[in-house]
Structure 1
Amino acid sequence: MTELRYDGRVAVVTGAGHGLGRQHALELAARGAKVVVNDLGGDRTGAGASAGPAEQVVEEIRKNGGEAVADAGNVATTEGAQGLIQAALDTFGKVDIVINNAGILRDKSFKNMSVEEFDSVIAVHLRGSFLVASAAWAHLREQGYGRIVNTSSPAGLFGNFGQANYATAKMGLVGFTKTLAHEGAKYNIKANAIAPVAWTRMTEDLLPADFADKLGVDQVTPLVAYLAHEENPDSGEVYTVGGGRIAKIFVAEGPGYGQKETLSVEAVRDNWAAINSADPLTVFKNVGEQMGPLIQQLTS
């Protein structure tokens, strides 16, 4: 079996001081990548800051013979995101791989969620991923190569009680990822997203303690590493991963119902079963394909 290597590649990993991000950074470094380890160093709510977590991961990488540099910038700010990419350029001369993993939690039931609790989670997960990718984008385009892996969540894909802020951010990353895939295609920039299930400090209150060993972060990183590798042929996809299982998540559309006459409320009611039918499902690659059935109905 040929080992997948990242020799000569430079990877930026956000939220890499703990959990999934740490494991991603260690794995890529062990396989030859030069890594910029980013972590603000706060707690899981985003409070506090410390260079310690990122520096500890860098020290571990260097002890194992790898190359890495620490960055404690706040990726939810323009300055922090641009500084992170600049650290890669200044230290290693380029950037090839961006893994957006940084995140915080401010869980509350919707009736109790404040505007600040909503905005702060969006700022780190969604805006932070945008800012880091944006700071790297011109460099990836210019060199004609790039791999971006964004971190979504089952909570975003399917919703979850008490996580309106988190779910909104994570589903937003799906649309963001698919758009980057379209715009990066001719520059050999591939963007994909993962929806991981893993036992970390972010999820220890959400997952049963009995699953801690079975849902280790080491069960997620292999997918991330493959998506970040030059051999990965796919872009614009979302994969759920955890506990040794990986599956592709599809955004699909049923056959639906249509009529040439203007729809009425009663027509919607009377054809509700057809509207909700899931047989057969169609997976579209872009908006143009998705518009196809409607265009066909309008022109037939």
Structure 2
Amino acid sequence: MSAPLAGKVAVVTGSGQGIGRDIALCMAEAGAGVITNNRKPGSSLDAFEKTTLSFSDEEREALENVSGDAQTTADEILRRGGEAVPFFGDVGDFEVARRMVETAIETFGRVDIVVNNASSNWVGNFMDMDEDLWDVSVVSKLKGAFNLMHHSLPHMKRQGYGRILNSSSDAFLGLEGYAAYGAANAGLVALTKGAAQDVRAHGITVNAYTPLAKTRAWYNAAATYRLQGVPAEAVEAAAPAAMKRTAEGMVPFLAYLGSDDAADITGHLFRLAADGEIGLWSTPEVVTSIRTDAEAWSMSELRARVPNELLKDVVGASTSLPVGQRDSQS
């Protein structure tokens, strides 16, 4: 087969299991040397931080079948004839991220592709969130992406080549129970678009994507709904088609974005779904407005015009979450 990433080196954070594992395997199959990563050896069955579920025997068996860590992913790449080195460490730690990039340089001599896939998440009402729970969702996702970008970009600049791929989430739209996670992902979209403009003159592209596939979080969500008395058939029926398939078939798009062929693709947010769809998210725009001829708005004018003109076509403000689509770094 062709090797579009031959000679390239990819760092894939959070690649012990789930979508990150599939990305790492795909990058290696395309010819790249890969640094695999997760926080520590072994893995947890719990997809959501600070949350413990009582799994059934069937759920536990399914989770154990999809579990793994940086070592098991690297071992699988080696078994298939590729090149990989595992790195254990938390991407949210600035110094750890530096060592991860240096591991790529020391092992392979360069770093060409960084996939910021690592993510942690706590699910719950914002009123129940404290500082630690905020950090669970924000540090690994948003600060972690900054850390890897900061340490890898100088090497990419010297090479005149670099590809940054940031895993966001449709939680950036604002989803119930995912306020902090949504904020981190919205920040990641802005980081992607801003950084893309800053580095494009150096042969470096920066893109983001929102993945949707069946992951460990699916099984956690199913257990959550079961404990709440929701039948498994109802959960299955409510889930989007993409969440009923694993990610192997969709991740080649990320290898494409990491290749020479994607040199002019930067600053975009893509939707990547396991049912075969690749989409391009629109850029937000002002869709309606009102204007006053007075020097300042009066309260009476605002009372009359905001509901009847500015917001006349707005229907509600909440967004529902398709069950079980989130994955995490562990």
1:261: Cα distance to partner? 4.6
> Structure 1 vs Structure 2: percent identity of aligned residues?
32
**Equivalent residue of 2:84, what SS?**
strand
Number of the residue aligned with 1:180: 195
Instruction: Check conservation: 1:197, 1:215, Cα contact below 8 A.
Output: no
Number of the residue aligned with 1:160: 175
Task: Identify if the C-alpha distance between structure 1 residues 129 and 277 changes in structure 2 by more than 3 Å, giving closer, same or farther.
Answer: farther
Task: Identify if the C-alpha distance between structure 1 residues 213 and 126 changes in structure 2 by more than 3 Å, giving closer, same or farther.
Answer: closer
**Equivalent residue of 2:106, what SS?**
helix
Superposed, 1:202-213 pairs within 5 Å as 202-206=217-221, 208-209=235-236
Number of the residue aligned with 2:212: 197
**CA distance in structure 2 between the partners assigned to 1:250 and 1:204 by the alignment:** 31
1:120: Cα distance to partner? 2.0
1:46: Cα distance to partner? 5.5
Number of the residue aligned with 1:214: 244
- Which of 295, 299, 304 does residue 262 from structure 1 map onto? 295
Number of the residue aligned with 2:267: 236
Instruction: Check conservation: 1:17, 1:39, Cα contact below 8 A.
Output: yes
Instruction: Check conservation: 1:182, 1:236, Cα contact below 8 A.
Output: yes
Instruction: Check conservation: 2:30, 2:255, Cα contact below 8 A.
Output: no
Deviates more, 1:173-182 or 1:203-212: 203-212
Instruction: Check conservation: 1:34, 1:68, Cα contact below 8 A.
Output: yes
Report the TM-score when normalising by structure 1: 0.83
Q: Is 1:250–2:250 an aligned residue pair?
A: no
1:263: Cα distance to partner? 3.9
Q: How many residues align?
A: 272
Task: Identify if the C-alpha distance between structure 1 residues 277 and 173 changes in structure 2 by more than 3 Å, giving closer, same or farther.
Answer: farther
Report the TM-score when normalising by structure 2: 0.76
Instruction: Check conservation: 1:105, 1:202, Cα contact below 8 A.
Output: no
Number of the residue aligned with 2:136: 120
C-alpha offsets along residues 149-187 of structure 1, whole Å, 9 cap, x if unaligned?
A: 00110112x221111111111111000100110101101
C-alpha offsets along residues 232-276 of structure 1, whole Å, 9 cap, x if unaligned?
A: 121111111212112111123126344565340445455546545
**Equivalent residue of 1:240, what SS?**
strand
Unaligned stretches of 5+ residues in structure 2: 51-67, 223-234, 314-330
CA RMSD of the aligned region, Å? 2.3
Deviates more, 1:99-108 or 1:204-213: 204-213
Instruction: Check conservation: 1:104, 1:202, Cα contact below 8 A.
Output: no
Task: Identify if the C-alpha distance between structure 1 residues 120 and 260 changes in structure 2 by more than 3 Å, giving closer, same or farther.
Answer: same
1:9: Cα distance to partner? 0.5
Read off the aligned partner of 1:25 and give its amino acid letter.
Answer: A
Unaligned stretches of 5+ residues in structure 1: 279-300
Number of the residue aligned with 1:284: none
C-alpha offsets along residues 107-127 of structure 1, whole Å, 9 cap, x if unaligned?
A: 111121222111122111111
